[in-house]
Amino acid sequence: MHTLVSPSWLAERLNDPDTVVLDATLPPVGVTPPVDTYGRYVGRHIPRAMFFDIERLSDHSTSLPHMLPSAEEFSKSMAGLGVGSGNTIVIYEQVGVFSAPRAWWMLRTFGAANVFLLDGGLSAWVEAGLPTESGEVRRAAAEFKASFDSAAVKDFAQLQEKIADHAQILDARSAGRFSGAAPEPRAGLSSGHMPGATSLPFTELAADGRLRSAEELREIFVAKGIDIARPVTTTCGSGVTAAVLALGLEIAGASEVSLYDGSWAEYAQRPEAVIERSA
């Protein structure tokens, strides 16, 4: 089945106890004061939806942002949230396409088989005239048995091997950060890019708050010189928008996609990392 689902598809299944709906909205980067996405969730959300806090569910034993936790920790977190491995899981975000694909990727990487994204998110749900509710939602504890897909994740050493092998690496950051013309939002990090990487800002994969069609996505990847029949590794600033590229690649029919979890936040601070600039 297609990864994206429509508001009507979800509405038909909303009262099924096996269906779990998750709001996975992260605050947009660089907005001051920070957007209270949890507060917005409490104020209005799809009925029965719970909040999937990407920040809280990440690995806090490292200084790197948004890193995957251990399989054991993720299992405990999902079980406590009431999400089971076998549930039909539908993820959305409040506006646009930014962080929900990261939640999709996390769940998929830890073995959840039936994970979907609501096409257009909360905005599309509201535009369809469907109801919303307010307040927190809680579910009874469930059983989540994480099964880590190591092929989906690359670390720094593996990324270095890919660079040496001239493998396909797609960078979701802005063109300015990729070229070195614009600064990184994280203090102390140089902008620029990995040798051989291709720039594809994640915003190019969406229009009007929705991911583009499979055909349009394929055209974008072809225009960037990406062969979706060969392995592709995605990266970004902190591993969040790299998941937008990973999702787009899957929808386009890519056969082997992985994500560099440390992304630029890790790469740019490693003394052995080569940083290229075209600015």
Is there a contact between 278 and 180 (Cβ–Cβ < 8 Å)? yes
Positive or negative CA dihedral for 258, 261, 264, 270? negative
Determine the Cα–Cα distance for residues 174 and 202; give it in Å rounded to an integer.
8
Residue the block writes with tokens 């076998």: 86
Residue the block writes with tokens 């994500």: 259
Q: Is 89 a catalytic residue?
A: no
Q: Which of 236, 247, 249, 265 is catalytic?
A: 236
231 prior amide bond cis, ω within 30:
no
The gap from C-alpha 139 to its chain's centroid, in whole angstroms, comes to 24
User: How far apart are the two ends of the chain, measured CA to CA in Å?
Assistant: 42
Determine the Cα–Cα distance for residues 77 and 159; give it in Å rounded to an integer.
29
Q: What is the DSSP letter of 45?
A: B
Characterize the bridge pairing of strands 19-23 and 4-5: unpaired
145 Cβ partners below 8 Å, 6+ apart? Answer: 75, 85, 111
233 by DSSP, 3-state: which?
Answer: strand
User: Which residues are designated catalytic?
Assistant: 236
